[in-house]
Amino acid sequence: MTAAPLRVGNFSGFYGDRADALREMLTGGEVDVLTGDYLAELTMLILARDRLKDPAAGYARTFLRQLEETLGLAHERGVRIVTNAGGLHPAGLADAVRRLADRLGLPVRVAHVEGDDLTARHPGSLAAHAYLGGFGIAACLRGGADVVVTGRVTDAALVTGPAAAHFDWAPTEYDRLAGAVVAGHVLECGTQATGGNYAFFGERPADVRRPGFPLAEIHADGSSVITKHPGTGGFVDVGTVTAQLLYETGGARYAGPDVTARLDSVRLGQDGPDRVRVEGVRGEAPPPVLKTGINRLGGFRNEVVFVLTGLDVEAKAELVKEQMGDALAKAPPAEVRWELARTDRPDAGTEETASALLRLVVRDPGQEAVGRALSGAAVELALASYPGFHVLAPPGKGSPYGVFEDAYVPQDAVDHVAVLPDGRRVAVRPPHRTRALEDVPGPALPEPLPAGPVRRAPLGLLAGARSGDKGGNANIGVWVRGDDAWRWLAHELTAERLRELLPETRDLPVTRHLLPNLRAVNFVVEGILGEGVAAQARFDPQAKALGEWLRSRHLDIPEVLL
């Protein structure tokens, strides 16, 4: 007998997402499992700092507040909840959920997953956690859990675990597992799959002011349909799913602890209004190692933004740079960085649009070097610098910043354990088969578009994009919606052309990956984010808008495509 499809929904894409989403998903339509993703690289650092102040902390407290209003409803409807809100302290959150259930008089069975915490192996780190797979979650669900709490698992594991439990998949059923990974990757960022942050949001009549959260109907063969509850905002189409598939990925092989999914095998098709079918996904044995995210304290950071209004912006900037340089030379911080943003316009109608912003950022291992010296030097210039001198805000004492790095450990070096509702501890074995990760040979380029008239225009008139961060690297996924546009994009948007269009990438390693099934190219730009989001190395520290910058750049586009 074939198992019925599993309906898995999402109610959180990050720590701070819409508070009432869990209730919306429980009341808006049929669903079997609801997943909440709370963890990003920066979140782990935030939770680590919380736990320094309070050893009982370290998990996403907002999840408990959401659950207080909805746990009875979930129990009544038989909906299971799986979340990584446990963060650094999954056992603590599991206990808190049990206390909540007892207070509400609900017979809810709670389990949790542990083994990801490797902080003790990395002296000097605030948090070091391996990315676990979904089979610990599956063991908890098979053990009767209604709520499963994890720490650092891969985002897709929140979906692969329930799917493996529901369909009783073996660890070697790679194609099925890979299909669930793709579905999980689409769901993990919540409303980014339903019109949120979408490049072509203005083209659809759908109301995108409050997109509904996504859900996946997963089938026994690993295929799925991405959709949302009826009547909720936003929309689901091949474009929104493509955008999310490209988010924070690299090449054709998308590696995870349970399986490596081949993104070049994914086929998408519209299956009706707000329904996209995902099929054809192929999987391979996972790599022999697990990624480990390590967060450390990098030092202290301070900044001041000088406002330069009207004429002689460049000369004003040079004057204040020289003045601040003389003052900071007495006790120079380890790093001094200036950035001039020419937000000003000539003959502007408002003072704000007549002004440019000059940002000074300093970093140092010690707080004193970025605090008092910078604050005093900037304030003392108030009556002694360029005409119209003022700053957006006075600099403070300086604040600590974190740095993120990747490390890798053998799969069998981690004690992956499912702690069942009755307290039994079930060890999750590492995979029997592994395959070292290597790049897929690039596919053949399509036939180029015949030569014809071109028009100078923004890339975004033709192509969508989505970008994001992975440690110090950024990815930019770019896709088009027709075969002729794909023929042009594949030949035109090379790594070299990307460097021309985005000068910040000019001296950085850039790798291009082609995904013909998605009519997409995916770029990985190494080092553009420095030591990760917490280090705030650039204006857009998570590269969220890097793709939109690219779409705004002008190049020669065939008129036939416009």
Query: Does residue 244 form part of some domain?
Result: yes
Instruction: Tell me, rounded to whole angstroms, the distance of Cα 224 from its chain centroid.
Output: 22
Give the C-alpha separation, 227 to 239, whole Å.
Answer: 13
Residue 117 carries which DSSP code? B
Query: Does residue 186 form part of some domain?
Result: yes
Question: With 90 as the cut, is the pLDDT of residue 355 above it?
Answer: yes
Give the C-alpha separation, 454 to 111, whole Å.
Answer: 60
Q: What is the mean pLDDT of the chain?
A: 96
User: Crossing angle of helices 90-104/61-77, nearest 10°?
Assistant: 50
Query: Does residue 553 form part of some domain?
Result: yes
Query: Does residue 308 form part of some domain?
Result: no
What is the C-alpha radius of gyration for the chain, rounded to an integer number of angstroms? 25
- pTM for the complete prediction? 0.95
Query: Does residue 41 form part of some domain?
Result: yes
**Is 48 in contact with 126 (CB distance < 8 Å)?**
yes
pLDDT at residue number 394:
87
Question: With 80 as the cut, is the pLDDT of residue 427 above it?
Answer: yes
pLDDT at residue number 192:
98
Output the six-digit token pair for 484: 């002729």
Q: Which domain holds residue 496?
A: 454-561
pLDDT at residue number 327:
85
Which residue in 138, 186, 179, 174 sits closest to 286, CA to CA? Answer: 174
The predicted-structure confidence for 251-274, as pLDDT tens digits, reads as follows 999 999 999 999 999 999 999 999
Shared domain check, 164 and 217: yes
Shared domain check, 189 and 43: yes
Strands (DSSP E) along 93-146, which ranges?
Answer: 110-114, 125-130
Residue 18: pLDDT band by 50, 70, 90 thresholds?
very high
Shared domain check, 511 and 421: no
pLDDT at residue number 206:
79
Shared domain check, 185 and 129: yes
**Is 196 in contact with 213 (CB distance < 8 Å)?**
no
The predicted-structure confidence for 31-43, as pLDDT tens digits, reads as follows 999 999 999 999 9
Give the C-alpha separation, 282 to 12, whole Å.
Answer: 27
Shared domain check, 241 and 181: yes
Q: What percent of the chain has pLDDT over 90?
A: 92
Shared domain check, 412 and 525: no
Residue 109 carries which DSSP code? -
Question: With 70 as the cut, is the pLDDT of residue 510 above it?
Answer: yes
Q: Residue 483, class by beta-carbon neighbours within 10 Å (0-12 exposed, 13-18 middle, 19+ buried)?
A: exposed
Give the C-alpha separation, 250 to 281, whole Å.
Answer: 17
pLDDT at residue number 2:
61
Map tokens 């189409």 to a residue: 237
Shared domain check, 154 and 11: yes
Give the C-alpha separation, 302 to 367, whole Å.
Answer: 9
Which residue in 267, 8, 14 sits closest to 155, CA to CA? Answer: 14
Single-letter residue type at 544 = K
**Is 445 in contact with 546 (CB distance < 8 Å)?**
no
Read off φ and ψ for residue 129, nearest 5 degrees.
-135, 130
User: Crossing angle of helices 157-167/174-187, nearest 10°?
Assistant: 140
Average the pLDDT over each of 13-22, 49-58, 198-207, 335-344 and give the range with the smallest value.
198-207
Output the six-digit token pair for 257: 């602890």
The predicted-structure confidence for 308-345, as pLDDT tens digits, reads as follows 999 999 999 999 999 999 888 888 999 999 999 999 99
Shared domain check, 513 and 414: no
Shared domain check, 127 and 205: yes
Query: Does residue 498 form part of some domain?
Result: yes
The predicted-structure confidence for 386-425, as pLDDT tens digits, reads as follows 999 999 998 889 999 999 999 999 999 999 999 999 999 9
pLDDT at residue number 240:
97
The predicted-structure confidence for 527-536, as pLDDT tens digits, reads as follows 999 988 888 8
Shared domain check, 460 and 416: no
The predicted-structure confidence for 288-310, as pLDDT tens digits, reads as follows 999 999 999 999 999 999 999 99
Residue 453 carries which DSSP code? -
Stated as kind and residue range, the H or E segment containing 186 is helix 174-187
The predicted-structure confidence for 88-122, as pLDDT tens digits, reads as follows 999 999 999 999 999 999 999 999 999 999 999 99
Q: Residue 438, class by beta-carbon neighbours within 10 Å (0-12 exposed, 13-18 middle, 19+ buried)?
A: exposed
Map tokens 């044995």 to a residue: 285
Query: Does residue 526 form part of some domain?
Result: yes
Map tokens 């490596």 to a residue: 260
Shared domain check, 115 and 256: yes
Give the C-alpha separation, 139 to 313, whole Å.
Answer: 63
Shared domain check, 492 and 422: no
Instruction: Tell me, rounded to whole angstroms, the distance of Cα 376 from its chain centroid.
Output: 38
Domain total of the chain: 2
pLDDT at residue number 1:
45
Give the C-alpha separation, 557 to 460, whole Å.
Answer: 11
Query: Does residue 444 form part of some domain?
Result: no
Residue 56: pLDDT band by 50, 70, 90 thresholds?
very high
